[in-house]
Amino acid sequence: MKSKLYTFVAILATTLAGVFPVLAQKAGPVTDTIYMGAGYNNEVYYSLSTNYRAAVDHKQWDIAFRTSRMSASILTNDAANNNPIGLLGVELYTYPKSDTSGWATVDTSGLSHWKNMVNSTTDWEEGAFCRNQKGHPDYGWGKYNAASHNVVGDSLFIIRLRDGSYRKLWIKIKYSAQNIYEFRYANLDGSKPSIITLDCAPYESKNFVGFSMITNQAVDFEPVASPAWDLLFARYMYTFPDKSLYLVAGVLSNYKVKVDVHKKVAPNYRLWNVATMDSTRSPIGWDWKTFNGSTYVVEDSLVYFVQDLNKNIHRLVFLDFAGSSTGRIILQKELISAKGVEDFDKSGFNIAVYPNPVRDVLNLIMNPGNSKVALVELFDISGKTLFRQQYNLQVETLSTLRIPVSGIKAGTYVLRVNAGVNVISRKVIIQN
């Protein structure tokens, strides 16, 4: 009997090692502090699961090119400010007086009345250069050629750089197969012309590669490969519904990161699976805090659930914001589930548990697949059964089961679910 118990524990340990990813975040709520620096000088790339963060000076580049061969998005650096008189960021204007044939005779009279083109608040694929796009094959700065698969520039732009100087700019072509952009720029009078060939292929592990029109150099500003970060703490230009613009400090999401926002809820709210998640650029955004005239006040009934790039679900609450003096942001995060919500869009046996860590009642969401019966068991690490219950369920239908754990002492346990011939185990942390 004793040898059988040892065997069971060994098998259980092996199963746990294979089923559960290693996470840097410890169990339970974690308080973390992000510093953007005085005047929000830095933007911070942040991973929810690994706690990785890197602060990067955002005043290094003027425009940035999407590195995907299937994208034509080009951004402006609307957060940069190197100008001593306080002008904000890089400004872009579509030249309204001619197409590319007017390159030699650019006339900027009336510039103050032209529309400032800015990056989309919600979509990384709509950089400032793409805001006039009409849909495929028109990408705003150029049109897609079905024969060559290249995007050919058909527009001129006037751009104000980080130092306050102006250039005329023509994105001539994107060679899609080679992932190469060719563009040219010069002073407004045509002096100091530059023709640039920018190869994006070396930067394809990143989302964008920047370019400084002051130093005439590419800028690899993303500190790590794009799968290594989830959130970006940064300044960006926000477009209000009335089309007015305002430079804000907030949080942007990486591609494929999803967010569920819950307003006016209790501080311990944890129902992350009740709404569709938002995968746009800024569902967290900036308006989780307000300025009362002397200090910032953080909304205390606002909860975010974030599905990171590894499909772990994190509960995120902001606690404090110091403003431009230090750019300090204090937040609390908690790993709720290591199972992504989108897995439930697929048929077949699968489960998720929340909250995790848990104190009183553990919620088990389950699709039993083709089985009508599921056996749910909770073990401690020695293999002792603490809970065992059989449930009758509907085939291929989601059900939520409530597992009482209030009488179980704090520690790490294993929840095992059997449905027919299928078995799934999940690690559960109890904090009583």
If you average pLDDT over residues 344-367, what whole number do you get? 81
- Burial letters 74-110, b for 16+ CB under 10 A, else e: bbbbbbbbeeeeeeebbbbbbbeeeeeeebeebeeee
Using CA atoms, how far residue 348 sits from 337, 366, 367, 389, in Å, is 19, 10, 7, 21
Q: Which of 25-29, 275-279, 301-305 has the lowest average pLDDT?
A: 25-29
CATH number belonging to the domain at 2-20+341-430, selected among 2.60.40.3080, 3.90.1580.10, 2.60.40.420, 3.40.50.720: 2.60.40.3080
Res 336: pLDDT = 77
Instruction: Give, in order, the Cα–Cα distances in Å from 73 to each of 88, 128, 138, 260.
Output: 22, 8, 12, 26
At 274, the pLDDT band (50, 70, 90 cuts) reads: low
Cβ–Cβ under 8 Å, residues 107 and 97: yes
pLDDT tens for 53-84 read 999 998 999 999 999 999 999 999 988 865 44
Average pLDDT over residues 281-301: 95
Under the banding of pLDDT at 50, 70 and 90, the label for residue 4 is very low
Cα(360)–Cα(256) distance, integer angstroms:
33
Tokens found for residue 420: 């027919």
Has residue 379 got a pLDDT over 50?
yes
The residue written with tokens 């300044």 in the block is 235
Tokens encoding 191? 């002096």
Backbone φ and ψ of 429, nearest 5°? -110, 120
Say what the pLDDT of residue 267 is.
Answer: 75
> Does 6 score more than 70 pLDDT?
no
d(CA 122, CA 101): 33
Residue type, 305: F
The rounded distance, in Å, linking the Cα atoms of 64 and 215 is 14
Q: What is the pLDDT of residues 230-250, one digit of tens each?
A: 999 999 999 888 888 889 999
Asked if residue 337 has pLDDT above 90, the reply is no
- Sheet with 313-321, edge to edge strand ranges: 30-35, 328-337, 313-321, 302-307, 258-263
**CA atoms of 236 and 283, how far apart (whole Å):** 14
Q: In whole angstroms, what is the distance from residue 393 CA to residue 350 CA?
A: 13
SS3 content of the chain, % helix, strand, coil (to 5): 10, 40, 45
Q: What is the predicted pLDDT for the residue at 8? A: 29
Q: What is the mean pLDDT of residues 404-432?
A: 86
Judge whether residue 411 has pLDDT over 80. yes
**100: closest CA among 32, 27, 157, 144?**
157
Work out the average pLDDT over 5-29: 36
Per domain, the residue ranges of the chain are 2-20+341-430, 30-54+229-337, 63-219
Per-residue pLDDT, 344: 44
Give dist(CA 48, CA 257) in Å, integer: 11
Look up residue 410 and give its DSSP letter: S
Percent of the chain with pLDDT over 70: 89
* Cα 250–chain centre separation: 12
Instruction: Tell which residue, 238, 100, 245, 231, has the closest CA to residue 169.
Output: 100
pLDDT at residue number 28 = 63
Mean pLDDT, the chain, whole residue set: 87
Residue 88: pLDDT band (50, 70, 90) is low
* Residue 98 clears pLDDT 50, i.e. is over it: yes
d(CA 84, CA 57): 17
Burial category of 146 from C-beta neighbours within 10 Å (exposed 0-12, middle 13-18, buried 19 and up): exposed
Helix (H), strand (E) at residue 305: strand 302-307
Give the pairing of strands 302-307 and 313-321.
Answer: antiparallel
Sign of the Cα torsion 140, 58, 48, 69 reads positive
- Alpha helices, DSSP H, located in 20-144: none
Q: Which helix (H) or strand (E) holds 323?
A: none
Rounded to two decimals, what is the model's pTM? 0.75
Residue 302 confidence (pLDDT) above 60 = yes
